[in-house]
Each structure stands twice: as C-alpha cells, then as structure tokens.
Structure 1
C-alpha cells in the first residue's frame, strides 16, 4: 500500500500526463505529451527522434492501459494509475523507457548529459518553474560535474516512483510536491 508521500507523487505525475486536464488519462493525452516534447526541443516530425518518442508514446499508452485499465474503459482513472505506480516492473517496463526517451530528446547536443538549460526547457513545458528545475538539477547532479547524466536521471525516475523516503532526490522529478 502506498504511503501518503507516494500517493502525492503519483497524483502529481498523473496530472502531468493528463494533458487535457479532464481527470482521466486517454491515448490523446500521451500523444499530446509526445508532441509537446518534440515541439519543445524542435524535433522535426520526420526525424528519428520524433519517430522514437512517438513509438514510445504508443507503447507507453498500450502498457499503461494493460497494467492499469482494470475496468476496460479505454481510460485510466487516478485510482487505477495509483495502483500501477507502485509496481517495479511497471516502472522499469513503462515509465523509465519513456522518461529516458524524453531525456535523449532533451539532450540537444547529444552529449549523454543534460545541462541546466536543457532541463529547464523541458520542465517549463510541463509546468515546473525554473526555480524548481534548478533545485531538481542540483540534486540530480550527484557527481557535481555541472550536468545530469542519463544514469543519474534514470536513478531519480526509479526513486520517484518507488521510494517512500521523503528526502529522496527522485521526489523532485515533478517539481515541488503539495
């Protein structure tokens, strides 16, 4: 059973995925999110990056519904979402690959790391303030080299979904929690 902290994190993540803000997740929310990421990072619709993010968005939706849509409605409610989020296999098969695809798109210079500016560009479109993103960036940069590596990012994503530690760095992945 998730802790209160985990419930708040899951609901904040749900709200980020619910692009049209109608209180349920639908396939068009996920495709809209993929489009937003491509627009944010000026990824051309015919590029390999766009194809990858769109393919992963399609897979993300299929995996989300397979793991969460218990009433077979074609939509995912917050309660269905929350039930799936505490499963490590869902995080590793679904949430993490999509997050890493977004990381790769945000990594405009293909260095394998994100600069604070690359991270701010992506997070601002998701409704996270620059101050929140700077705090997130500083916490994620565990080796203090001025960049966030793919490994640091992946560890934070896993920690966001699976940790109930109130001091976990991963808690910052969706901005400040209420």
Structure 2
C-alpha cells in the first residue's frame, strides 16, 4: 500500500504529466509535454535528437500504459497512477526513465548538469511556478555549484519515489504539497 505521504507526492506529480488538466494521462499528454520541451530547447522537428526523443517518449508511454493502465482504457487516472507506484518495476522502468528524459532534454549542452535557467524552463512547461521551481533547484543543488548534476537529480528521484519524508530534498520534485 502506498503511504499517505507518497500518495500526496504522486498526486502532485500526476498533475505535472496531465498536460491538459483533464484528470487523466494519455498519450496526447505525453506528446504535448515532449513537444513543449523540444520547442523550449530548440530541438527541431525531424532532427536526430527530436526523432530519438519522440521514440523514447513513445516507448515510455507504452511502458507507462503497460504498468499503470489497470482497466485497459488507454488512459491513466490518478488512482491507477498512484497504485502503479507500489510496483518497484514501475518506478525503475517507467517513472525514473521519464524524469531522466526530461532532465536530458533540459541539459542542452550535454554536460550532465542543468543550469538554473534550464531548470526554470523545464519546470515552467510542467506548470510549476517560479518560486517553487527555484526552491526545488536550491534543494537539489547539494554542492551549491549552481547546477543540478545527473547524480544529484538521480539521487533526488530515488528519494522522491522511495521516501515518506515530506521534508527530504527529493520531495521538492513534487513542488508545493
């Protein structure tokens, strides 16, 4: 059973992937987010990076649907989303790779880290306000170098999905609870 603390985090996280705010996640939500991120980071449609990104996003949608779509209706509702997090395979094979894909899109120069500017762009597209996005960035930038490294991000993801501590740095990935 997913704890109450995790339910809070996962419900807030669900909102970020529900691009049209209709209370469900379907392929159009994933497509809309990916297209917004590609547009924001000047990834040209038809480019190699765009094709790779779309292919990965489509595969992640299939994995998401396979793990979370309990009733087979090709949409994920909040209850299904939260229940899916009970399965460690969902977290490892779907949730974390989806978050890592967004991180990679934000890492425009491919140096394995995201600047504050890149972070703010990613978060604004996901509907996170500037103040919350800044708080997230500060909590995740453990070494205070002005960047979130892949290692810092991956540690935060593990903490987000695995911890009941609502004060933990990784919990900031949900935004304001």
Equivalent in the alignment of 2:38: 38
Equivalent in the alignment of 1:85: 85
Determine whether 1:107 maps to 2:107. yes
Q: Give the secondary-structure state (helix, strand or coil) at the position aligned to 2:174.
A: coil
Q: Residue by residue, what CA displacement relative to the aligned partner does 1:68-95 show, whole Å, maximum 9, x if unpaired?
A: 1111111111111110123222111112
Equivalent in the alignment of 1:119: 119
Equivalent in the alignment of 1:29: 29
TM-score for both structures, normalised by structure 2? 0.93
Determine whether 1:167 maps to 2:167. yes
**Counterparts of 1:25 and 1:134, CA distance in 2:** 26
- On the 8 A contact 1:139/1:169 being kept in 2, the answer is yes
**Counterparts of 2:126 and 2:174, CA distance in 1:** 8
**Equivalences for 1:153-164 in 2 at 5 Å?**
153-164=153-164
Q: Give the secondary-structure state (helix, strand or coil) at the position aligned to 1:114.
A: strand
Structure 1 residues not aligned, in runs of 5+: none
1:52 Cα deviation from its structure 2 partner: 2.4
Say what the alpha-carbon RMSD is for the aligned residues.
Answer: 1.4
Equivalent in the alignment of 1:60: 60
- On the 8 A contact 1:14/1:78 being kept in 2, the answer is yes
Structure 2 residues not aligned, in runs of 5+: none
1:172 Cα deviation from its structure 2 partner: 0.8
**Counterparts of 1:150 and 1:7, CA distance in 2:** 26
TM-score for both structures, normalised by structure 1? 0.93
1:174 Cα deviation from its structure 2 partner: 2.8
- Deviating above 6 A after TM superposition, structure 1's stretches of 4 or more consecutive aligned residues are none
Tell me the matched-pair count. Answer: 177
- On the 8 A contact 2:115/2:147 being kept in 1, the answer is yes
1:110 Cα deviation from its structure 2 partner: 2.0
Q: Give the secondary-structure state (helix, strand or coil) at the position aligned to 2:12.
A: helix
**Counterparts of 1:151 and 1:87, CA distance in 2:** 23
- On the 8 A contact 1:91/1:161 being kept in 2, the answer is yes
